[in-house]
Amino acid sequence: MSKAIIYVVSDSVGETAEFVIKAALSQFMNENEYELYRIPYVENIEVLRGAVYHAKQLGAMIGFTLVNPEFRGFLKKEAAEKNIECVDIMGPMLEAMERKFNTHAKEEPGLIHKLDEDYFRRVEAIEFAVRYDDGRDPRGIEQADIVLIGVSRTSKTPLSQYLAHKKLKVANVPIVPEVEPPANLFKLPAHKCIGLKISPEKLNGIRKERLKSLGLDDKASYANMVRIKEEIEFFERIINQLNCPVIDVSNKAVEETANLILQMIHQSSWNV
């Protein structure tokens, strides 16, 4: 017995049509009993005409997903004239939704794949932010879209995560007087690095609250004003060497700082 042949026609990749066709075929036969011929990225009527011609020659049927109503109409009409079984997989759903929502479909092929790409870029950026958080791996500096630097408790980590949800790969590096920043930080273009500045008084209050939340004495050196000023002075020396933009986060919420960074990116047309 010869194999069943089905043409899978689409103005995008054709995965949706193929998935539905395979699901239906599984009710009738095994995979080795049929062949699928995929014709993706249809852009003109002539391709559809050719698909109908070959389907007729091979005694095949056609299953298709076409968002363009002109293409759908042509293929159904052409197939009917040649007495070819032809199934519109997406059209009835599009037409029903147009009636229900009282609006026209966008008629743009492959939109679902664009959504998928956005999703995976976002996930990749989030994983990147976790992997290269707090300077744990200096290699992330060169791979990042943006590198945030600042002393401890300047919201580097939450900012990295927030920006990751905007599909930006963000690494962050803590600035500590006892530890020289990674050498590759100084090789970055200045605009790829952003310093997070904070007033000593504000930082003192934040660190004291942090120590209390951990059940520790708020008089520890971590929250000592002399120590804080030493850290900020070291931070300012590093910033001067990098000559990078600086944002004062003393009285800003994470969202506000993130929006300022996004504005910098858009205004500067950074290649990120």
pLDDT band, residue 271 (cuts 50/70/90): very low
Cα angle 121, 122, 127; round to 5: 100
Q: List binding-site positions.
A: 150-157
The tens digit of pLDDT for each residue in 204-221 reads: 999 999 998 888 888 889
Top-confidence residue, 218 or 196: 196
| pTM recorded for the entire structure | 0.61
Helices 200-213 & 225-242, crossing angle to 10 degrees?
120
Q: Which CATH superfamily is domain 4-109 in?
A: Response regulator (3.40.50.2300)
Domain at 116-268: CATH code? 3.40.50
CB neighbour list of residue 27: distance below 8 Å, 6 or more residues apart: none
* 4-109 and 116-268 share one fold: yes
At 15 the pLDDT is 85
Q: Which of 28, 8, 30, 4 is nearest to 19 (CA)?
A: 8
Q: Which residues are annotated as a binding site for ADP?
A: 150-157
Say whether 108 sits in a helix, a strand or coil.
coil
Specify the pLDDT at position 120: 82
Q: What is the mean pLDDT of the chain?
A: 92
What's the pLDDT score for residue 268?
Answer: 65
Look up residue 47 and give its DSSP letter.
H
- What are the strands, taking DSSP E only, across 42-174? 61-65, 86-88, 146-150, 170-174
Beta bridge partners of 62: 7, 86
Query: Which among 188, 197, 175, 185 has a CA at the least distance from the CA of 248?
Result: 197
Rg (CA), the chain: 29
- For the chain, the domains span 4-109, 116-268
